[in-house]
């Protein structure tokens, strides 16, 4: 078994025997999460795109003394295949308790030059893939017993936009908004829901542009320079070990955290976001009727997070 001391924290208990499905598990953060879930005693199903990844994962799990995961091919934009993957997972293990939506693409370019293909590909994988996973897996998770959770892996780009990552940023903001809302819907079912926003991690996420599908070939971005892209990829060598990220994700899932932040270096950024947001609020009286609507909204959110089913009638 691999050394679990890196990024060590309180041990994760109470998940042994549960079943987790992790997308994009062939490399990077997905593989790190899978190893951390295995540490906690969960049985693992992993999705992958490249057969060589499946072979490498199987070899690594065996070398680390882990039980072999169920390896399933999946393009997260393929809704029919999603249904098959969930069905195969349930048929193999008897249930599904945890979904980790991790698969994504990182593509960069000036947003004002983007084409429809750029939007459709990036949003289709990064947001559409999460939505497809939820539609396919939530019925099985709701039907399961014991501890259950959904973890949607976004990025620090869900909070911090960048000039070369407009569509990527939009996709991660979308995953953030979806997850924060979904948490209120899943709480009454006893299902945890967490948003994870990792930052620089030692992965090959930088090479997504080299794997662009032919069906989305009409890009508005400048032609990709492989040499420039590989130079950019050297920055990822300074990133956090994906296994450490995975351990932090699993501990956050175990605690039921709404937000899992894995990297500590963003305090100044978050402080700036907070201060700019508060400063942008008009300094003027709030009409009592509007104030009452917002009081009801806050109360409804607190009730929903506590596991109470909330409807439109609770908002007026």
Return d(Cα 132, Cα 176) in angstroms, integer.
Answer: 16
| Residues paired with 149 in a beta bridge | 98, 192
Nearest to 71 by CA among 83, 242, 56: 56
Sheet hosting strand 259-260, strand order edge to edge? 70-73, 43-48, 19-22, 98-101, 148-153, 191-196, 259-260
- Do 220 and 109 meet the contact criterion of CB atoms below 8 Å apart? yes
The answer to whether 243 is a known catalytic residue is no
Number of C-beta neighbours around residue 144 at 10 A: 18
Cβ contacts of 213 within 8 Å, gap of 6 or more: 121
Helix (H) or strand (E) holding 98: strand 98-101
Annotated catalytic residue within 168, 184, 243, 274: 168
- Which active-site residues does the annotation give? 168
């Amino acid at each position: 078994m691999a050394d679990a001391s890196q990024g060590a924290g309180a041990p994760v208990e109470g998940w042994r025997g549960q079943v987790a499905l992790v997308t994009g598990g062939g490399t990077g953060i997905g593989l790190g999460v899978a190893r951390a879930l295995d540490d906690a005693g969960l049985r693992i199903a992993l999705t992958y795109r490249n057969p060589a990844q499946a072979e490498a994962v199987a070899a690594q799990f065996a070398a680390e003394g882990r039980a072999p995961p169920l390896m399933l091919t999946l393009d997260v934009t393929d809704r029919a295949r999603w249904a098959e993957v969930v069905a195969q997972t349930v048929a193999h293990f008897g249930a599904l308790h945890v979904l980790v939506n991790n698969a994504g693409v990182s593509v960069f370019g000036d947003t004002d030059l983007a084409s429809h293909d750029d939007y459709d590909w990036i949003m289709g994988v990064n947001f559409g893939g999460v939505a497809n996973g939820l539609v396919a897996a939530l019925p099985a998770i709701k039907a399961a017993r014991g501890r259950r959770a959904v973890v949607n892996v976004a990025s620090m780009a869900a909070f911090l936009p960048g000039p070369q990552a407009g569509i990527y940023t939009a996709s991660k903001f979308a995953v953030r908004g979806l997850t924060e809302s979904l948490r209120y819907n899943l709480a009454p079912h006893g299902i945890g829901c967490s948003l994870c926003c990792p930052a620089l991690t030692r992965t090959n996420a930088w090479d997504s542009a080299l794997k662009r599908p032919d069906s989305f070939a009409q890009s508005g971005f400048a032609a990709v320079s492989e040499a420039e892209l590989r130079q950019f990829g050297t920055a990822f060598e300074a990133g956090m070990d994906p296994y450490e990220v995975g351990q932090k994700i699993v501990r956050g899932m175990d605690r039921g955290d709404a937000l899992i932040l894995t990297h500590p270096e963003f305090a100044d950024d978050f402080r700036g976001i907070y201060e700019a947001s508060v400063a942008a609020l008009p300094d003027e009286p709030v009409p009592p009727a509007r104030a009452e609507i917002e009081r009801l909204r806050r109360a409804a959110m607190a009730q929903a997070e506590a596991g109470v089913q909330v409807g439109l009638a609770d908002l007026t």
